[in-house]
């Protein structure tokens, strides 16, 4: 009886793995697009419906049953895609709750980033970037999307300018009158102190 | 004998004496001006008119060729930027999916168009699609508002949908497009317009000759929650843990705003590329047309010139033969 139970337990993940490809072979995308195209053609029969972003995107692989060995990272900025589907071992992201390490098999998470250092670990090499802010999405299939507004490698930062900026914003905060000015000065201080600690720490 | 001589000469010059070439000129498009000056047979034909026309067409051809070159160089500059920004909206679609058919009460259609004209039909396509959305979302309790970027869409939409327009933004490309400018714009829109769903209508740049009208949908956090609860596409959004912030709602609000600014940035760049590409092809076809017109005018010019030479010769010969005979 116990053997039967253990056999069943062994079978179920396999079934799940087989079942998942079927359910994700037809990505849900066409159904949403299909309702849209139907509604469109009913109301405006003369024009082709406009395309939607889903038709331009590669579908993501489904959640595998076992934890993959590598994390696939997409690190995008408005001006460039720094890393596009790069397989790495680990990334450490500066989330608002502190430095968060992301390994393959991390639970699905949405986190907002604060100014800080992002490090990408691949084998023995580590690349560090200073990130201004953004979001990170970690999906259940060990895909991590990091979207940042600005990111620079640490060697492009100038220590003196950072110190000057910090002093400037501290003085601005003390002389600020309205809430808006105070908030702006506070943001400046946050960013510069993060820069400072990135360069020194 | 004189008659015989005339007849001999007449036969030799018969083709030239025949009145047909002159009536052929009469039926040419330049006939009215020539008719004013002259009856048949008199030395009148002025090639000046045709020459003026040819000069103006040649100038137009030069201008359109130059505009094509300018558009090509601008396209090269902006195309790399647009392609680099394409990775920006993909994570959002991967996370939140794409629900253009979401049923919402307050729709806002953001139409992106160009400020300058002479770029083919892309602005009309965007406006037609925006109007299509208006029609699609008409119903009880549902309303559609427009936010317009660019002069050309403004000109078309102000005519019949003036009361539905919330914001008009023009002169977007005075400074080179960058993310800071677009995020300020997105901030303005989000502050001033109440929305359940934002639909951004733009032309996606596929290649120099192909621009696909596209619509990107950004849903407000409340609608995202609603769709997540009802299952379906966004059903597994709840499985994502949300780090930081006091409430999940706050993070989702920030997420929606960030998504809007990223998608806008990409949309504005793609539309700018499409505008330059469309202008290139429009100017190319117009310089080709000008070239064709120039060829036709050259033929007419030569015919006119030859006819006037013929007329002169006829006069001289007939005068001479009259004297001899």
DSSP state letters, B232-273 = GGGGGGGGSEEESSSSHHHHHHHHHHHHHHHHHHHHHHHHHH
Q: pLDDT for A155-197, tens place per residue?
A: 888 888 888 888 888 888 888 888 888 888 888 888 888 888 8
**What pLDDT, on a 0 to 100 scale, did the predictor assign at position A64?**
80
Please tell me the pTM assigned to this model. Answer: 0.80
Nearest-neighbour CA in chain B from A138: distance (Å): 8
Tell me if B211 sits within 8 A of B277, measured CB to CB.
Answer: yes
* B contacts of A133 (beta carbons < 8 Å): none
Does the CB of A95 have a partner CB in chain B at under 8 Å?
Answer: yes
Domain that holds residue A111: 67-154
Cβ–Cβ below 8 Å for B87 and A108: no
Same domain, A131 and A183: no
Same domain, A146 and A183: no
Q: Is the pLDDT of residue A38 over 50?
A: yes
Which chain B residue lies closest to A85 (C-alpha atoms)?
B87
Does the CB of A183 have a partner CB in chain B at under 8 Å?
Answer: no
User: What does residue A113 show for φ and ψ, rounded to 5 degrees?
Assistant: -100, 150
Same domain, A164 and A125: no
* B contacts of A54 (beta carbons < 8 Å): 93, 97-98
**What pLDDT, on a 0 to 100 scale, did the predictor assign at position B3?**
53
If one compares A141 and B17, the residue with the highest pLDDT of the two is: A141
Which among A11-15, A173-177, B9-13 has the top mean pLDDT? A173-177
A110 → closest Cβ in B85, B93, B240: B240
**What pLDDT, on a 0 to 100 scale, did the predictor assign at position A46?**
81
Q: Quick one: DSSP state of residue A197?
A: H
Same domain, A79 and A149: yes
* B contacts of A33 (beta carbons < 8 Å): 98, 100
Same domain, A88 and A126: yes
Nearest-neighbour CA in chain B from A196: distance (Å): 23
Residue B37 located in a structural domain: no
B84 → closest Cβ in A35, A79, A112: A79
A95 → closest Cβ in B94, B95, B244: B244
Provide the pairing of β-strand A90-95 with A116-122.
antiparallel
* Number of domains composing chain B: 1
Of A18-22, B107-111, B164-168, B235-239, the range with the lowest mean pLDDT is A18-22
Q: Is the pLDDT of residue B169 over 80?
A: yes
As a whole number, mean pLDDT of residues B105-131 equals: 92
Cβ–Cβ below 8 Å for B87 and A40: no
Query: Sorting pLDDT into bands at 50, 70 and 90, what band is B232?
Result: low
Q: Please state, rounded to an integer, the average pLDDT across all residues of chain A.
A: 80
If one compares B102 and B173, the residue with the highest pLDDT of the two is: B173
Which chain A residue lies closest to B234 (C-alpha atoms)?
A28
Q: Is the pLDDT of residue B9 over 80?
A: no
Cβ–Cβ below 8 Å for A56 and B95: no
| Residues with Cβ within 8 Å of residue B230, at least 6 apart in sequence | none
Residue B301 located in a structural domain: no
Same domain, A98 and A162: no
Number of H helices, E strands in chain B: 10, 6
Residue B10 located in a structural domain: no
Same domain, A149 and A170: no
Task: Tell me the C-alpha distance between B233 and B219, whole Å.
Answer: 13
Number of H helices, E strands in chain A: 4, 10
Residue B24 located in a structural domain: no
Query: Sorting pLDDT into bands at 50, 70 and 90, what band is B227?
Result: confident
**What pLDDT, on a 0 to 100 scale, did the predictor assign at position A6?**
54
**What pLDDT, on a 0 to 100 scale, did the predictor assign at position A2?**
64
Task: Tell me the C-alpha distance between B147 and B106, whole Å.
Answer: 13
**What pLDDT, on a 0 to 100 scale, did the predictor assign at position A26?**
37
Which chain A residue lies closest to B251 (C-alpha atoms)?
A112
Cβ–Cβ below 8 Å for B136 and A147: no
Q: pLDDT for B23-58, tens place per residue?
A: 444 444 444 444 444 445 544 457 888 899 999 999
Residue A7 exposed, middle or buried by CB count within 10 Å (0-12, 13-18, 19+): exposed
Residue B140 located in a structural domain: yes
**What pLDDT, on a 0 to 100 scale, did the predictor assign at position B54?**
94
Cβ–Cβ below 8 Å for A145 and B95: yes
Same domain, A109 and A164: no
**b (16+ CB within 10 A) / e for B132-151:** bbbebbeeeeeebbbbbbbb
Tell me if A56 sits within 8 A of A89, measured CB to CB.
Answer: no
Same domain, A178 and A190: yes
Give the best residue of A39, A47, A53 to mutate against chain B (max B CB count within 10 A): A53
Q: pLDDT for B198-226, tens place per residue?
A: 999 999 999 999 999 999 989 888 888 88
Same domain, A148 and A170: no
Task: Tell me the C-alpha distance between A88 and A95, whole Å.
Answer: 19
Cβ–Cβ below 8 Å for B94 and A145: yes
Which chain A residue lies closest to B241 (C-alpha atoms)?
A109
Nearest-neighbour CA in chain B from A127: distance (Å): 20
Query: Sorting pLDDT into bands at 50, 70 and 90, what band is A29?
Result: very low
**What pLDDT, on a 0 to 100 scale, did the predictor assign at position A173?**
87
**What pLDDT, on a 0 to 100 scale, did the predictor assign at position B18?**
42
Cβ–Cβ below 8 Å for A43 and B132: yes
Residue B50 exposed, middle or buried by CB count within 10 Å (0-12, 13-18, 19+): buried
Q: Please state, rounded to an integer, the average pLDDT across all residues of chain B.
A: 83
If one compares A9 and B309, the residue with the highest pLDDT of the two is: B309
Q: In chain A, positions 5-34, which contact chain B (CB-CB < 8 Å)?
A: 28-29, 32-33
A49, A95, A101, A128 from A191: Cα distances, Å: 45, 14, 21, 17
Nearest-neighbour CA in chain A from B112: distance (Å): 14
* B contacts of A50 (beta carbons < 8 Å): 129, 201, 212-215
Task: Tell me the C-alpha distance between A82 and A78, whole Å.
Answer: 10
* A contacts of B215 (beta carbons < 8 Å): 50-52
A32 → closest Cβ in B101, B132, B255: B101
Q: Output helix, strand, coil percentages for chain B, rounded to the nearest 5.
A: 65, 15, 20
Task: Tell me the C-alpha distance between B33 and B51, whole Å.
Answer: 14
Provide the pairing of β-strand A143-148 with A134-138.
antiparallel
For A72: left if phi > 0, alpha if psi spans -120 to 50, otherwise beta; the answer is beta
* B contacts of A107 (beta carbons < 8 Å): 241
**What pLDDT, on a 0 to 100 scale, did the predictor assign at position A5?**
52
| Strand ranges inside chain B, DSSP E | 106-112, 143-149, 165-169, 197-207, 210-219, 241-243
Query: Sorting pLDDT into bands at 50, 70 and 90, what band is A97?
Result: confident
Residue A84 located in a structural domain: yes
Closest CA to B276 of B76, B110, B60: B76
Q: Is the pLDDT of residue B125 over 90?
A: yes
Query: Sorting pLDDT into bands at 50, 70 and 90, what band is A7?
Result: low
Q: Is the pLDDT of residue A28 over 70?
A: no
**What pLDDT, on a 0 to 100 scale, did the predictor assign at position A3?**
63
Q: Is the pLDDT of residue B20 over 70?
A: no
% of chain B with per-residue pLDDT over 70: 83
Task: Tell me the C-alpha distance between B309 and A9, whole Å.
Answer: 104
**What pLDDT, on a 0 to 100 scale, did the predictor assign at position A200?**
81
**What pLDDT, on a 0 to 100 scale, did the predictor assign at position A19?**
35
Residue B48 located in a structural domain: no
Cβ–Cβ below 8 Å for A143 and B241: no
Provide the pairing of β-strand A109-113 with B241-243.
parallel
Residue A79 located in a structural domain: yes
**What pLDDT, on a 0 to 100 scale, did the predictor assign at position B202?**
94
Cβ–Cβ below 8 Å for A36 and B101: yes
Q: Is the pLDDT of residue B116 over 70?
A: yes
Domain that holds residue B228: 66-234+249-283
Tell me, what CATH number does B256's domain have? 3.40.1380.10
Residue B89 located in a structural domain: yes
* B contacts of A74 (beta carbons < 8 Å): 87, 90-91
Q: pLDDT for A115-166, tens place per residue?
A: 989 999 888 888 889 998 899 998 888 888 999 998 988 888 888 888 888 8
Cβ–Cβ below 8 Å for B88 and A112: no
Tell me, what CATH number does A118's domain have? 2.60.15.10
Task: Tell me the C-alpha distance between A42 and A81, whole Å.
Answer: 39
Q: Is the pLDDT of residue B245 over 70?
A: no
Same domain, A165 and A112: no
Of A2-6, A82-86, A127-131, B133-137, the range with the lowest mean pLDDT is A2-6
* A contacts of B98 (beta carbons < 8 Å): 29, 32-33, 52-54
Q: Is the pLDDT of residue B6 over 60?
A: no
* Number of domains composing chain A: 2
Q: Is the pLDDT of residue A14 over 50?
A: no
Cβ–Cβ below 8 Å for A78 and B88: yes
Nearest-neighbour CA in chain A from B91: distance (Å): 6
If one compares B135 and B17, the residue with the highest pLDDT of the two is: B135
Task: Tell me the C-alpha distance between A94 and B138, whole Å.
Answer: 45
| Crossing angle between the packed helical segments B122-136 and A29-43, to the nearest 10 degrees | 90
Q: Is the pLDDT of residue A81 over 60?
A: yes
């Amino acid at each position: 009886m116990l053997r039967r139970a253990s056999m069943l337990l062994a079978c179920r993940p396999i079934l799940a793995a087989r079942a998942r490809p079927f359910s994700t072979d037809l990505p849900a995308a066409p159904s949403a697009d299909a309702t849209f195209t139907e509604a469109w053609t009913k109301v405006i029969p003369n024009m082709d419906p406009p395309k939607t972003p889903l038709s331009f995107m590669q579908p993501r692989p489904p959640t595998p049953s076992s934890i993959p060995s590598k994390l696939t990272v997409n690190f995008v900025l408005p001006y460039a895609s720094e890393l596009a589907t790069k397989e790495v071992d680990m990334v450490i992201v500066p989330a608002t709750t502190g430095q968060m390490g992301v390994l393959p098999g991390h639970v699905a998470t949405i986190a907002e980033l604060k100014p800080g250092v992002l490090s990408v670990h691949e084998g023995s090499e580590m690349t560090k970037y200073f990130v201004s802010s953004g979001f990170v999405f970690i999906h259940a299939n060990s895909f991590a999307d990091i979207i940042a507004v600005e990111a620079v490698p640490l060697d492009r930062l100038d220590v003196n300018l950072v110190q000057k900026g910090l002093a400037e914003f501290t003085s601005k905060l003390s002389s600020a009158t309205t809430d808006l000015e105070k908030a702006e000065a506070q943001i400046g201080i946050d960013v510069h102190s993060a820069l400072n600690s990135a360069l020194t720490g | 004998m004189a008659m015989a001589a005339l007849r001999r000469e007449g036969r030799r010059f018969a083709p030239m004496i025949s009145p047909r070439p002159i009536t052929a000129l009469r039926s040419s498009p330049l006939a009215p001006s020539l008719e004013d000056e002259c009856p048949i047979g008199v030395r009148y034909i002025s090639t000046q008119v045709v020459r003026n026309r040819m000069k103006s067409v040649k100038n137009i051809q030069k201008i359109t060729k130059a505009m094509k070159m300018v558009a090509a160089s601008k396209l090269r500059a902006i195309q790399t930027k647009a392609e680099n920004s394409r990775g920006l909206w993909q994570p959002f679609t991967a996370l939140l999916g794409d629900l253009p058919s979401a049923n919402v009460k307050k729709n806002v259609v953001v139409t992106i168009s160009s400020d300058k004209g002479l770029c083919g039909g892309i602005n009309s396509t965007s406006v037609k699609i925006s109007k299509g959305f208006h029609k699609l979302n008409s119903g009880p309790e549902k309303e559609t508002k427009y936010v317009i970027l660019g002069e050309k869409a403004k000109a078309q939409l102000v005519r019949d949908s003036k009361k539905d327009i919330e914001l008009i933004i023009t002169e977007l490309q005075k400074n080179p497009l960058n993310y800071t400018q677009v995020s300020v714009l997105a901030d303005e829109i989000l502050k001033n317009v109440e929305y359940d769903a934002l639909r951004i209508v733009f032309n996606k740049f596929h290649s120099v000759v192909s621009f696909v009208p596209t619509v990107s949908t950004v849903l407000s956090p409340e609608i995202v929650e609603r769709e997540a609860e009802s299952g379906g596409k966004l059903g597994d959004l709840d499985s994502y843990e949300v780090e930081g912030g006091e409430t999940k709602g706050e993070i989702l609000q920030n997420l929606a705003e960030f998504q809007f600014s990223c998608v806008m940035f990409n949309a504005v760049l793609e539309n700018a590329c499409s505008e330059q590409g469309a202008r290139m092809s429009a100017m190319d076809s117009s310089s080709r047309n000008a070239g064709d017109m120039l060829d036709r005018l050259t033929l007419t010019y030569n015919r006119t010139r030859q006819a006037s030479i013929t007329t002169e010769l006829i006069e001289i010969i007939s005068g001479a033969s009259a004297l001899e005979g």
